Each structure stands twice: as C-alpha cells, then as structure tokens.
Amino acid sequence: MRYLVGTSGWHYDHWRSRFYPKDIAKTQWLDYYAQFFSTVELNNSFYRLPSEKAFTSWREESPPNFVFAVKVSRLITHLKKLRNVAEALSNFWERARLLGDKLGPLLYQLPPNMHRNDKVLEEFLAILPPSHAHVFEFRHSSWFDPEVFRILNCYGAGFCVMDMVGITCPLVVTADFGYVRFHGASGLYWGCYSDEELQEWAKKIASLGQDLKTVYIYFNNDAEAYAVKNAITLRQLLMKEG
C-alpha cells in the first residue's frame, strides 16, 4: 500500500522564496517540486481546460512514476451539476488522458449548494470511463449517507475524505484506493496544521488505508506555502505508522 502525499497545485507565485528558490524560472518549478513529492493534484483544470500541449509537457517534464490527480472542470460539476455533460466529459477525458500512465484519479468536487440526488449521481457514474479511477468530494452534508457510499462502491468510485472548517466529513472508503484533502487548519485554504493534528490524521489515514492499494493525500492550504510544510510532515508521520 502506498501513501502518495502532495499539494493541490504547484504554480503559486507566493511560494517563491517560501518554497521555490528565487533564482529558478517558473518553467522549472515542476521539476523542483518533483524533487520533494511524487504526486500533485492539478487544480487549474477546474477553472479552465488546459491545452493538449500543457498536459503533454507535464507528462514529459515530470519524472517516472510521478502521478497527477486531476480536478475536473467546474463546467461539469458546478455549472451543469453532473447533468447533460456527456460532451463536456468526453472533451475533458480526451485531454486528461494525455498524461498517460501518470494520470491518477479524476476528482469531482461538487458545489456546497448541491444537495444529495442519488439519481443524478448514478446516471453520471454510469457514463464515466470505467477503466479509470474517479473520486467525489461532496461539500453538502446530505451526501454523507450509507446509500450514497453504496452507490459509489457499486461503480468502484472513491469517496474523498476532507478536512475543512465548518463541515464534518466521515472517514469512508468506497473503492480500492483512498483519497484525502486538507483545506486548511483555521480557514479555507488557510492555516498551518500542527504536528499534533497531523499525528492524529496519520493514525486515521493508516487505519483507513489498511486494505487499500493506494491513498492519495493532498494539502490545499496554499497560503504561506503551508501545504508544502504540512505535506512533508504528514508523509514522514505516515512512514512511521507503517
């Protein structure tokens, strides 16, 4: 079982000097990042579909065995809310698959105003490429229900365990992999997790991942480059957990 720990994105200007040396160009940031982490969660794909050239260059410029989890377009999750999305999904998939064997799970983050709808979820799951890993992050608590978990499990789709101020998320696994996102210790994308908090999370994640192939873990608290610091610490703690 592998723990793949990284950050949600790597191209942050405010990480210069906090993580990236001042004297390296932005075109070298991925190479520098990959010296510390073996995975990253692409989140700019949520706002705008990257070009074929971008996906291809990320694949070619990253080291062997590097893994990109990819956040799916908000056109699909937020604007259309999983309905009538066959064409948009096909377009997105055709781009993402250019990452080749470095493509990790596709992440579908649903909006906080989208309440539970089992029919919509199941119809959407039915059109996803079955050969690939898909994971869902629900921002409304109505989705935290055993029946929803059962539906995800039937399609082999993952449930994203998240830590976010203002919502309590269950520790659940619905696929043969786990997926965990940290959104900030004291606010959305803000706040540094203490070593004590991360130690508790290391225990939870180790228990969660006992029978899994891989657990993907990403820190989204990019402010002050806290994500980098927390990701490195949690990875070290997980290594001690075994």
On the question of pLDDT at 20 being above 70, the answer is yes
- Over residues 21-45, the mean pLDDT reads 96
Q: Are 189 and 223 in contact (CB under 8 A)?
A: yes
Share of the chain above pLDDT 90, in %: 93
pLDDT tens-digit map of 189-218: 889 999 999 999 999 999 987 889 999 999
Each residue of 143-176: b (16+ CB within 10 Å) or e?
A: bbeeebbebbeebbbbbbbbbbeeeebeebbbbe
Q: Supply the pLDDT for residue 210.
A: 82
pLDDT tens-digit map of 86-109: 999 999 999 999 999 999 999 999
Under DSSP, is residue 26 helix (H, G, I), strand (E, B) or coil?
A: helix
Residue 167 has φ and ψ, to the nearest 5°, of: -145, 140
DSSP secondary structure code for residue 164 in this structure:
B
Q: In the sheet where 134-137 sits, what is the strand order?
A: 2-7, 214-219, 177-182, 158-163, 134-137, 103-109, 67-71, 39-42
pLDDT tens-digit map of 34-64: 999 999 999 999 999 999 999 999 999 999 9
CATH 2.115.10.20 is held by the domain 2-241: no
Q: Supply the pLDDT for residue 115.
A: 98
Q: What is the dihedral angle through the alpha carbons of 39, 6, 112, 95, rounded to the nearest 10 degrees? A: -20
The pTM assigned to this predicted structure is 0.96
- Over residues 152-180, the mean pLDDT reads 97
On the question of pLDDT at 140 being above 90, the answer is yes
d(CA 75, CA 48): 9
d(CA 219, CA 5): 8
135 forms bridges with which residues in the sheet? Answer: 107, 158
Mean pLDDT over each residue of the chain, to the nearest integer? 96
